[in-house]
Amino acid sequence: MKGSQGKKLLFTGSLVAALGVSGVVNAEELRLITWGGYAPDDVVAQFEEETGIDVKITLSNNEDMISKLRATGGAGFDLAQPSQDRIVGVQRQFNIYKPIDYGQIKTDQLQPSMVKATQAATALNGQSYGVPSVWGTSGLIVHESVADTVTDYTDLCATEVAGKVSYRLKRPTLMGFAFAMGMDPFAAYDDRDEYQSIMAKVEDTLIDCKAKVKTYWTGGDQLLSLLRTGEVVAAMAWDAGGWKLSAENPDIRFVAPASGALGWIDTFAIPRRSENEAAAYKWINFVMQPEIAARITNASGNFTASKGADEFVKADLRDAYRASFDEQAINNIKWYPPVPPGLESLEGQVLDRVQAAN
């Protein structure tokens, strides 16, 4: 009896072990490190139901993503969402990502201009390391009363709006003014002398404009308050802030400047030691479907690279977006490329001199 029971126990234990091992092998999981709002609960639930893949989410930001992936040599996650200008330098230094196989990406779902921009911005040694996901811009928030006057960044220096404009003393302002003055700072990134020349001209313009600025805003809440009260009627700021104000007051709207809005793109990137690359590609193609992508926009307030997704976004946000961006304005967005070493220090000196000028 004892021997028989022992055999039964041995058999049962072996069966349980076999089933346990089988369960581990067959269980699929996608470990996603991303930003808040980029993986809404309802989107995750639908993906899990349709694919049978469990999604484990870690909320993060650029610095944290880099830190975690650097510490593990690209392990611990199957898919990450760094900004496109934070990939090449990190990859060159730490080798934490693997090239994107665009043959597995349904690019017909994506805005062509954003695919092109991201492929270029994340290119290293002939391969691209990112797929466009969520994007946003800096441009102009204007009151209807000055909409004909303020159509580009340098119009914030117009006499007609003196004392009622605001912008930040940050690098986006330097870039925006340079483009509005007919120069291309991004094209000069690899020519330090040319870049210094561009920055010198922008510096002079910002110093001349200083007396016409109500205040240099430093926080989003501060800026929104200035615009709500009418103390400021035109400002350089983010699109999402402009759309929020437009929902409160239709006379205030976000405008893509004539020289082009300044755009950032958060990407999909695959860590070098991803354990479920197939699930990563499934997630990318799933969430970039227009109706799914629209739910990400509703959750995050930012639009995605999904083509046609604006048709499914909640009405007030959709209408504000369409008022700001037609196809020409989207194609005219100046996407931030990776910043070469040393340029941010140069820019900081320019901004310090503008701040200190009388």
Q: Does one domain contain both 253 and 163?
A: yes
pLDDT (average), residues 111-123: 94
pLDDT single digits (tens) 258-300: 999 999 999 999 999 999 999 999 999 999 999 999 999 999 9
Q: Classify residue 11: in a domain, yes or no.
A: no
Q: Tokens 């996603």 label which residue?
A: 32
Q: Does one domain contain both 85 and 198?
A: no
pLDDT at 73: 96
pLDDT at 19: 40
Beta strands across the sheet bearing 79-80: 53-59, 28-34, 79-80
Lowest mean pLDDT among 8-22, 216-230, 302-316: 8-22
**DSSP classification of residue 231:** S
Q: Does one domain contain both 154 and 130?
A: no
Task: Report yes or no: 255 and 236 within 8 Å, Cβ to Cβ.
Answer: no
Residue 47 belongs to a domain with what CATH number? 3.40.190.10
pLDDT (average), residues 232-246: 95
Amino acid (1-letter code) at residue 89: G
Q: How many C-alpha atoms does 322 have within 13 Å on its Cβ side?
A: 12
pLDDT at 263: 94
Q: Classify residue 217: in a domain, yes or no.
A: yes
Q: Does one domain contain both 105 and 78?
A: yes
Q: Classify residue 200: in a domain, yes or no.
A: yes
Q: Classify residue 24: in a domain, yes or no.
A: no
Q: Provide the residue range defining the domain that includes 274.
A: 29-135+263-328
CA 40 to chain centre: 17
Amino acid (1-letter code) at residue 151: T
Tell me the pLDDT band of 353, cut-offs 50, 70 and 90: very high
CA 215 to chain centre: 27
Q: Does one domain contain both 145 and 179?
A: yes
